[in-house]
A = this chain, B = another copy of it.
């Protein structure tokens, strides 16, 4: 297996150096998808750009279509905008617009400027004006529409006799429009097939079917899909004119992307966008965008310790417990953050349900805080033989655990209400608060009991 992979990347490089373009195209076309994804990430940026320049546009588009979206957009942004534009044009228009939308504004506009003005490019421009996770961004405009007066037999005959026209369209649903193009009904293909041919479309169509506005978000569309077993929903504009169809599959993919991005954002990968094939300086800069604010918040929190140097000097053992209280409170708080994030996603809670969160987290915080406090306090007593040291560190951890789960449970609700991404910002806010409170509790308890500790 290892050898096959090494073979592929060195084979690609060899063919590229020899200028054996035909063989290069063949090798790319015949490579298994997984190998292609891995090996093309291993080429350096220069070789990769050269590769896309050499091979035919069709072959390049074929490679892009095999890659994950993140890889394809990254590689498109590396190469010359004119070549990228050719590749986008060689791709089916929904894939092309999907990739363009995945790129940063200035990169995609550079590529769009290079695309020739045709009807298709106008369409592409309109498509990418919608957010990637909205109905307009996710829909396909290749729909099949008929008039209500047709019979089932006529529709089936039309489909079968002019099959060539319909082969690149979504025919899971046949839509029914009035003279102005406004959506009036829908007929699932399966109903069409399971109905006698003489019946009029208007007799079996679903009248005023469920549909979504072109601006609807993936989350809103998902709600509708959860209620009903539809494969797709018609998309209409403000005048109720049919614009396209958005499939359950496209919405699910958008939401999977979202959920992966939440995970990455919460781990400090801003907007969930890094791949190790990206340039080092870009990766470093993006990670620092998260680390920079974090180190400042950390210094702010640790500033609390600086106020208690005298206390620390008298009871140096406290320095051992400060990082433990800080870490454990962060752990407890992050659990509450994760549960709030999940319940927000599942729509079991809303931002205004803070009292429920306080109640439900408060009790668990008391239970877990008590147990963790006893564990840490016992370690302190066993280590130093001073029961007051145990009371100080155990008590501080117990109280801080309660505060942490309350803050952790509430912060995502507050951020959601303020329309800030809770996945990205909850962690730093939580740990800064819990560090400050934790250090304060340990050190102020210690200074109160100083005579017993020193």
Top 6 closest pairs, chain A to chain B, by CB: A267-B338, A263-B263, A163-B194, A252-B252, A319-B319, A284-B367
- Interface residues as binary, A335-370 with B (CB distance below 8 Å gives 1, 0 otherwise): 101110111011111101000110011011001100
Q: Does A12 reach chain B (CB closer than 8 Å)?
A: no
User: Which residues of B are found within 8 Å of A318, using beta-carbon distances?
Assistant: 319
User: Which residues of B are found within 8 Å of A277, using beta-carbon distances?
Assistant: 348
User: Which residues of B are found within 8 Å of A259, using beta-carbon distances?
Assistant: 256, 259-260, 263
- CB closest chain-B residue, reference A370: B284
* Pairwise interchain contact A299-B248, C-beta atoms closer than 8 A: no
A261 to chain B, nearest CB (A): 10
> In the complex the two chains form, what is the Cα distance from A81 to B252 in whole Å?
33
- Interface residues as binary, A275-294 with B (CB distance below 8 Å gives 1, 0 otherwise): 11100110110011011101
* Pairwise interchain contact B327-A267, C-beta atoms closer than 8 A: no
Contact of A166 among B194, B249, B256, B303 (CB under 8 A): B194
* Pairwise interchain contact B313-A316, C-beta atoms closer than 8 A: yes
- Interface residues as binary, A31-64 with B (CB distance below 8 Å gives 1, 0 otherwise): 0011001100110000000000000000000000
User: Which one of A105-113, A176-184, A371-379 is at the interface?
Assistant: A371-379
A252-B249, A268-B334 given; A431·B309 CB < 8 A: no
* Pairwise interchain contact A295-B328, C-beta atoms closer than 8 A: yes
User: Which one of A17-25, A122-130, A185-193, A237-245 is at the interface?
Assistant: A185-193
A334-B267, A339-B274, A371-B288 given; A352·B192 CB < 8 A: no
Residues of A contacting B: mostly: helix
* Pairwise interchain contact B160-A269, C-beta atoms closer than 8 A: no
Q: Does A253 reach chain B (CB closer than 8 Å)?
A: yes
A163-B194, A260-B342, A323-B323 given; A287·B364 CB < 8 A: yes
* Pairwise interchain contact A267-B266, C-beta atoms closer than 8 A: yes
Contact of A326 among B68, B227, B326 (CB under 8 A): B326
Q: Does A331 reach chain B (CB closer than 8 Å)?
A: yes
User: Which residues of B are found within 8 Å of A341, using beta-carbon distances?
Assistant: 263
* Pairwise interchain contact B276-A360, C-beta atoms closer than 8 A: yes
* Pairwise interchain contact B159-A193, C-beta atoms closer than 8 A: yes
Chain A, range 115-159, C-beta contacts under 8 Å to B:
156, 159
A2-B352, A38-B348, A299-B324 given; A291·B368 CB < 8 A: yes
Chain A, range 181-211, C-beta contacts under 8 Å to B:
189-190, 192-197
Contact of A38 among B159, B281, B349 (CB under 8 A): B349
| Further 13 A-B residue pairs, CB within 8 A, beyond A167-B194, A298-B324 | A37-B346, A37-B348, A38-B347, A192-B193, A264-B342, A267-B337, A268-B338, A269-B339, A275-B348, A287-B368, A290-B335, A302-B320, A305-B320
Q: Does A172 reach chain B (CB closer than 8 Å)?
A: yes
Chain A, range 395-442, C-beta contacts under 8 Å to B:
431, 435, 439
A341 to chain B, nearest CB (A): 8
User: Which residues of B are found within 8 Å of A352, using beta-carbon distances?
Assistant: 2
> In the complex the two chains form, what is the Cα distance from A322 to B70 in whole Å?
38
Q: Does A231 reach chain B (CB closer than 8 Å)?
A: yes
- CB closest chain-B residue, reference A332: B291
* Pairwise interchain contact B327-A326, C-beta atoms closer than 8 A: yes
User: Which residues of B are found within 8 Å of A41, using beta-carbon distances?
Assistant: 348
- Interface residues as binary, A195-239 with B (CB distance below 8 Å gives 1, 0 otherwise): 111000000000000000000000000010011000100000000
User: Which residues of B are found within 8 Å of A431, using beta-carbon distances?
Assistant: 327
Contact of A193 among B171, B252, B339 (CB under 8 A): B171
